[in-house]
């Protein structure tokens, strides 16, 4: 039909004595709207057989073609508009996530393995608290070795009782509350000797909102979930250590965001502990990613990007996140190592009287003799693991730490850290470039097809990584 139309119009143009170069376009475009009164006057009269035939063809063909072409044109215009709108929406949203000015404070920890990249993932209870510095319930170090093509994840319990520079003995989650991202990074750097290049902060509310935005997830709950000590820390400003009870019946069912978070976060619902939790996470991730792969998700992407805007913050650039996620996804699952500093790496207990927190509060004491070799193995060559505090309730480094805090603000550990932070990012960026090249499947474009439009998918993976505290998210 299109070929026929083109032939006809060209022929008409050639035959019409009044047509000149450039007027053919006017003829074509006007045919969409009206029956061409001017051009009709220019061609031989309607009484001749040729003109009758031509008019008959002109009447028959454009009618149907007009509808189709008009619809197509409108469709293209609409799609173009939507694409432009999405681009601006996503750019605006994602730009508020990445490139945060707050950055990891640089301590004295050093790593002779210049290619290795360490990223601190912090998970907090609610969104909108990034600036207000609530407790960080999740503290995970993701370590990437682009040369050896390995990724490791170190999960440090929130109740780890350790020296927070400048504040003495506290729980690890309080470091974020006392000094934000910078102090969280500095604490881990100082106490374990792990140099940190980047951080990413995730609000758990964002996970709930994202799941609700995609309409929840449908899973087969493989056994009844009962948990009497689930953390009641979402939107609970009064007591961030409060507990709540969970009950989720076994069987296929629809889970909203809150229920899905409970299902994947509960640590006490299985005899097999983290194995069971990991299986549950796989279920939810599979269901969630299936929804995210559905073409119908396009209509909700801007909402998801908006949810991400409030619940993920990082000092990485977007391309860095894309490279990191694609590198990790390209790895064999066996190449992802995981270390959780639960028993035997730590021992539950209560805070001693001379610490920075209330005596008798529940804490977890690091077991340094177990931790150091485990860290050495995870971070491999060129790394000097440290463990500044021993798992002994009677020993506190508070006094020693307080001696480090001089009266002058310039001598405060955070000030020192901030002054050193400026030198760190350049080399880290270079290393992330190497991640891209070594990974082989690095994404350098913001537009990676429907699977990762504008990098939203990679941002979601970053969020899942912090919420699930598991490398499983990279393998689903």
Q: Which residues bind other proteins (CB under 8 A)?
A: 35, 59-60, 63-64, 67-68, 215, 218, 220-229, 243-245, 247-254, 268-272, 275, 350, 360, 362
Q: With respect to other proteins, which residue has the nearer C-beta, 51 or 253?
A: 253
Supply the minimum distance, in Å, between the C-beta of residue 34 and other proteins.
Answer: 10
| 447's tokens | 């537009």
Our CB check for other proteins shows the closer of 30 and 386 to be 30
Query: Which of residues 99 and 349 has its CB atom nearest to other proteins in the complex?
Result: 349
Q: Give the whole-angstrom CA distance, residue 219 versus residue 222.
A: 9
CB-wise, 247 or 298, nearer to other proteins? 247
Give the shortest CB-367-to-other proteins separation in angstroms.
19
Residue with structure tokens 């029956």?
Answer: 35
For other proteins, which is the closer residue by CB, 228 or 293? 228
Cβ 271 to other proteins shortest distance, Å? 3
Burial bucket for residue 313 (CB in 10 Å: 0-12, 13-18, 19+): buried
Least Å distance, CB 436 to other proteins, is 36
Q: Which is nearer to other proteins, 213 or 253 (CB)?
A: 253
At its nearest, how many Å lie between other proteins and the CB of residue 1?
10
**What is d(CA 196, CA 209) in angstroms, rounded to the nearest whole number?**
29
CA 346 to chain centre: 30
Which phi and psi (to 5°) does residue 203 adopt? -95, 130
Query: Of the two residues 55 and 331, which places its CB atom closer to other proteins in the complex?
Result: 55
**Residue 291, both tokens:** 């929804």
Our CB check for other proteins shows the closer of 15 and 294 to be 294
Residue 149 or 300 with smaller CB distance to other proteins? 300
Per the CB < 8 A criterion, the answer to whether 318 and 305 are in contact is no
Could you tell me the smallest distance in angstroms from the CB atom of residue 75 to other proteins? 13
In angstroms, the CA 12 to CA 407 distance is 91
Closest approach of Cβ 35 to other proteins, in Å? 7
Give the nearer residue to other proteins in terms of CB position, either 46 or 422. 46
**CA separation for the pair 245, 236 (Å, rounded):** 15
Residue 290: CB minimum distance to other proteins, A: 10
CB count within 10 Å of CB 380 equals: 16
Rounded Cα gap, residues 178 and 40, in angstroms: 82
Shortest distance, CB of residue 208 to other proteins, whole angstroms?
15
CB of 455 to other proteins, least distance (A): 26
| Pair 403, 92: CB distance under 8 Å | no
**Neighbouring residues of 350: CB distance < 8 A, sequence distance ≥ 6:** 359, 360, 361, 362, 363, 393
Minimum Å distance from CB 108 to other proteins?
36
Is the Cβ of residue 71 or residue 77 nearer to other proteins in the bound state? 71
State which residue, 106 or 280, has the beta carbon closest to other proteins.
Answer: 280
CB 60 to other proteins: min, Å: 8
């Amino acid at each position: 039909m299109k070929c026929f139309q083109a032939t006809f119009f060209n022929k008409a143009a050639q035959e019409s004595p009044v047509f000149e170069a450039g007027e053919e376009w006017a003829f074509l475009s006007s045919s969409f709207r009206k029956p061409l009164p001017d051009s009709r006057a220019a061609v031989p009269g309607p009484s001749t057989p040729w003109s009758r035939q031509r008019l008959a063809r002109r009447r028959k063909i454009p009618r149907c073609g007009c509808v189709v072409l008009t619809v197509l044109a409108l469709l293209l215009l609409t799609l173009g508009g939507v694409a432009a709108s999405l681009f601006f929406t996503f750019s605006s949203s994602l730009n508020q996530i990445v490139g945060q000015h707050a950055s990891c404070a640089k301590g004295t920890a050093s790593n002779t393995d210049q290619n290795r990249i360490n990223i601190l993932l912090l998970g907090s209870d609610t969104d909108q608290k990034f600036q207000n510095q609530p407790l960080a319930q999740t503290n995970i170090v993701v370590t990437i070795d682009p040369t050896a093509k390995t990724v490791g994840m170190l999960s440090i319990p929130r109740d780890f009782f350790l020296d927070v520079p400048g504040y003495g003995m506290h729980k690890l989650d309080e470091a974020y509350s006392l000094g934000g991202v910078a102090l969280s990074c500095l604490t881990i750097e100082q106490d374990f000797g792990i140099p940190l290049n980047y951080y990413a902060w995730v609000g758990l509310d964002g996970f709930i909102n994202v799941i609700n935005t995609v309409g929840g997830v449908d899973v087969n709950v493989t056994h009844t979930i009962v948990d009497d000590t689930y953390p009641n820390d979402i939107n609970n400003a009064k007591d961030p250590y409060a507990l709540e009870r969970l009950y989720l019946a076994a069987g296929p069912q629809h889970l909203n965001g809150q229920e899905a978070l409970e299902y994947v976060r509960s640590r006490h619902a299985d005899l097999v502990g983290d194995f069971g939790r990991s299986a549950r996470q796989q279920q939810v991730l599979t269901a969630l990613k299936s929804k995210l792969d559905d073409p119908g998700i396009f209509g909700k992407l801007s909402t998801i990007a908006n949810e991400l805007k409030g619940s993920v913050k990082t000092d990485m650039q977007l391309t860095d996140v894309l490279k990191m996620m694609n590198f990790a996804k390209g790895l064999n699952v066996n190449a992802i190592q995981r270390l959780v500093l639960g028993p035997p790496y730590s021992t539950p207990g209560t805070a001693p009287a001379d610490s920075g927190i209330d005596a008798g509060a529940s804490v977890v004491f690091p077991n340094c003799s177990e931790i150091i070799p485990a860290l050495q193995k995870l971070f491999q060559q060129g790394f000097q693991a440290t463990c500044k505090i021993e798992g002994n309730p009677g020993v506190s480094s508070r006094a020693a730490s307080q001696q480090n805090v001089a009266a002058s603000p310039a001598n405060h550990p955070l000030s020192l850290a901030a002054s050193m932070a400026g030198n760190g990012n350049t080399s880290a960026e270079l290393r992330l470039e190497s991640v891209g090249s070594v990974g082989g499947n690095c994404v350098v474009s913001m537009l990676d097809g429907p699977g990762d439009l504008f990098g939203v998918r990679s941002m979601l993976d970053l969020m899942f990584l912090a919420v699930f505290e598991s490398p499983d998210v990279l393998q689903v």
